[in-house]
Amino acid sequence: MTFHLRRHHLPWCAFFFAAALLPAQEVALTFDDLPRTGKLPPGTTRVDIIKHIVKILQDAHAPRVYGFVNGGKLASAPEELEALKAWTAAGFPLGSHGYSHFNLAETSVRRYTSDITANEPVLRSLVSDKTYWHWFRYPYLEEGDTLRKKEAVYAFLRKNHYRVAEVTLDFQDFLWNAPYARCLAQNDTVAIDWLKSNYLIAAEDRIEFGQQMSQTLYGRDIKHIMLLHVGGFETVMLPELLKLLKQKNFKLITLEDAASDPVYKVEPQWPTRHGGDFLSLTMRYRRLEIPWHRRLPKDQLRSLCR
Ligand SMILES: [Zn+2]
């Protein structure tokens, strides 16, 4: 049974009643770019940001949330190892996001795969169980601009027992970090309120976008994987995002659970070109029309509080 509800057209009680009848949606939250990403807001540290995010996730009883690490960031800031330790101390696992956050479209296969190997010592030192840290998230969601490269890296990952952490829900949350840091430094509360509401509008829109594509491709709601980043604004917005997910009837699951959905068992068949989430890329490959979705307010975010 499918419900097509426009919640704006219904009283709230009707919406909640209908949501209760819908089968639960499932999503694994994942965080990229540990130990740091984006501009640091005034009055905080990278370690504080990670600890704060971990606390919010624990309060929400989120099951084992993966953080994807760029070990190379520790070379310039070794003290940020504490941020990674705070993550694992909460019982959350770490995966690999490459040592240097290379873009595969701009890097040779040899350089890219040795960068994955270079990321292993720090992961090995922090996570004892190899099955946990042997997950890989492609930086920029770029899996290879040619099929040859895509197959070569995929074969490397498989040979080295890595699993790929795909992404189906992504609203580029990292775009809000720099304007937030600037607006906070200027104490511009009106601008910060605009950032907050816009963040949630983008999140909701992209969640619905992913759900729509899932229905078009598979005729059902797959187990989703959401991409988030460990930026300063996430410490403000993550509780609101969790509320939104709850309203939309999402239940938090582990990455292992999400990845058990058979849709993710696909061999490389097409180059990704400019990166992208699993669902949009699959839609493009199958020549299906991408559903309407809002443009992210990139220009406004770039110019705010300058
Ligand atoms: Zn990244």
Give yes or no for a cis peptide into 11 (omega within 30° of 0).
no
Q: With beta carbons less than 8 A apart as the criterion, state whether 62 and 31 touch.
A: no
Q: Kindly give the distance from the C-alpha atom of residue 180 to the centroid of ligand 1, in angstroms, as a whole number.
A: 19
Å from CA of 102 to ligand 1 middle: 9
pLDDT digits over 235-273, tens only? 999 999 999 999 999 999 999 999 999 999 988 788 887
Q: So what's the pLDDT on residue 27?
A: 98
**pLDDT digit string, tens, across residues 192-223:** 999 999 999 999 999 999 999 999 999 999 99
Q: What CATH homologous superfamily does 23-303 map to?
A: Glycoside hydrolase/deacetylase (3.20.20.370)
Report residue 130's pLDDT band, with 50, 70 and 90 as the boundaries: confident
- pLDDT for 86 beyond 90: yes
- pLDDT of the residue at 270: 81
Q: How far is the CA of 228 from the centre of ligand 1 (A)?
A: 9
Q: pLDDT tens, 17-40?
A: 555 556 789 999 999 999 999 999
pLDDT classification of 133: cutoffs 50, 70, 90: confident
Q: What is the pLDDT of residue 22?
A: 63
Please tell me the distance between residue 20's alpha carbon and the centre of ligand 1 in angstroms: 35
pLDDT at residue number 2? 40
Please give the distance, rounded to the nearest whole angstrom, from the Cα atom of residue 96 to the centre of ligand 1.
Answer: 10
| Per-domain residue ranges of the chain | 23-303
